[in-house]
Amino acid sequence: MTERERRRFRVKDREERAGEPAKDSRGIRRRLRERPRIRPRVYGYLTEEKETLRQGFAALFLSSVGELVAGLVLAGIAGTLEELVGLAVLIPAAIGMRGAIFGALGSRLSTSIQTGLFSFSLRRGVLAENVQAAAVLSIISGVFLAFLARYLSDILGVATELSIVDYIVISTVGGIIAGVLLLVITVFVARTSVSRGWDMDNIAAPMLTAAGDILTLPSLVLAAYLIDIPIVSNSLALALTAAAIAVVFLGFRLGGRNLRRILAESLPILAITGAVTILVGVALEERSEQFTTLLALSILLPAFLQEGGALGGILSSRLSSKIHLGLLAPRGLPPVAAFKDFVLIYTFAAGVYLFIGAASHVLAVVLFPEGASPGLLAMMGLSALAGVIATTAAVVAAYYGSVVSYRLGLDPDTYGIPIITAAVDLLGFMSLIIALIVFGLAG
């Protein structure tokens, strides 16, 4: 939020404490309609948001570097993907699920910080219940993705040599390893944001998606070694499935009210997110030869998909916080205040997509054999073209995901980022294929 928006919230808070009636969303909408329309001054807004730009660009470029590291890991395990046919189906879904779970966690914590509800306690309160929810969702999502990956591959006729036991072990163990590390990072980011006065809306989504990518791929590869031990893998798959059912039951049965609400709201949307991102994995498996031949594309892929999610996550977190604080009316047609945030996101996107396109080319040329990249201008061009499409999808998903969930009485912090993850992963991959066709790199 800008300083002007913070002052508006403080004035509203003082009015409520003084006994004046709080302004509800209908009152806000009426006041906005009665206010004369002001032509948005883009340059003035970006100048006013220079601190947000500084924080956002720093977080996005830091996350881009991390995503490129994940891309190098993906390019480096090309041999593993050829050996374990069907593993590529799981990769986008596993990465996307980590971003959806922990991005939503960061968004909820950011709102609790801005509304004064946050306390650094792992025993009770907002932080404790959110950490518990993330742990439960990490376990259940690992098992769920395993079943989706195996049986959707059969239904869609995608070749796979992995059994359901293999998928459960790789997906769940890999998800748990990455999830534990991401929990530590999320709590650290929240505590640092409070102590230094940072706006967590601007930094949580890009940092957590980058960390999720970097940690998830090695975790999946590490877990894949367990499937070579048949007795261990069979017993472990059964234990993990039982544990997933147990933690969900105990979460609803014994958890606090806020924990039960988070689980009830998260499970349906994460199921949809998982199904959509598995379809991205199916598409990746079918085009795996192209990505393992032009390794610059493998380096670009994680950064491209997750930066779209990070940009949408920043927007979703900002809109959710403003809706909660009464600073943004949840209209069907976005108000001027929302368009200002849209401009901010496109400004971020312009720098980020050109950067990751150029960096992917340089890394491929330096680290891999000749012919691993189609060229600097081609990589920058296809990244920029696909990035415009992906950013537009992220903006639409972020705004309407926040507005619709709020109007339905649901928490936009919980729904916004999973919706973005599903939309941007699918449409982002499609936009990348479209850009490859435009540049003559795909048929």
Looking at the predicted structure, is the pLDDT value of residue 43 above 90?
no
Percent of the chain with pLDDT over 90: 13
- pLDDT tens-place string over residues 408-440: 777 666 666 677 767 777 788 888 888 888 888
Residue 33 included in any domain: no
Mean pLDDT of 302-330: 78
Mean pLDDT of 158-179: 89
CA dihedral 273, 138, 345, 373 (to 10 degrees): -80
Count how many domains the chain has.
1
Q: Are 96 and 428 in contact (CB under 8 A)?
A: no
Mean pLDDT value across the chain: 78
Q: Which of 319, 395, 94 is nearest to 224 (CA)?
A: 94
- pLDDT tens-place string over residues 357-411: 999 999 999 888 777 888 899 999 999 999 998 888 888 888 887 788 778 777 6
Residue 25 included in any domain: no
Model pTM above 0.75: no
Least confident of 131-145, 183-197, 425-439: 183-197
Least confident of 189-203, 280-294, 333-347, 357-371: 189-203
Looking at the predicted structure, is the pLDDT value of residue 114 above 50?
yes
Least confident of 188-192, 204-208, 322-326: 204-208
Looking at the predicted structure, is the pLDDT value of residue 353 above 80?
yes
Residue 47 included in any domain: yes
Residue 7 included in any domain: no
pLDDT of residue 202: 64
Q: Report which of residues 132 and 34 the model is more confident about.
A: 132
pLDDT of residue 412: 63
Residue 252 included in any domain: yes
Residue 24 included in any domain: no
Looking at the predicted structure, is the pLDDT value of residue 35 above 90?
no
Residue 329 included in any domain: yes
Residue 157 included in any domain: yes
pLDDT band at 301 (very low <50, low <70, confident <90, very high): confident
Mean pLDDT of 337-366: 88
Of the ranges 81-85, 136-140, 229-233, 310-314, which is most confident?
136-140
Instruction: Determine whether 429 is exposed, middle or buried from the number of CB atoms within 10 Å of its CB (0-12, 13-18, 19+).
Output: buried
Least confident of 9-18, 159-168, 379-388: 9-18
Looking at the predicted structure, is the pLDDT value of residue 185 above 90?
no
Q: Report which of residues 417 and 259 the model is more confident about.
A: 259
pLDDT of residue 379: 93
pLDDT band at 44 (very low <50, low <70, confident <90, very high): low
pLDDT of residue 83: 76
pLDDT of residue 201: 63
Q: Residue 89, Cβ neighbours under 10 Å: how many? A: 31
pLDDT of residue 169: 93
Looking at the predicted structure, is the pLDDT value of residue 242 above 90?
yes
Looking at the predicted structure, is the pLDDT value of residue 236 above 50?
yes
Give the range of the structural domain holding residue 142, as residue numbers without chain letter: 39-438
Mean pLDDT of 304-309: 78
Q: Report how far residue 297's alpha carbon sits from residue 295's, in angstroms, rounded to the nearest whole number.
A: 5
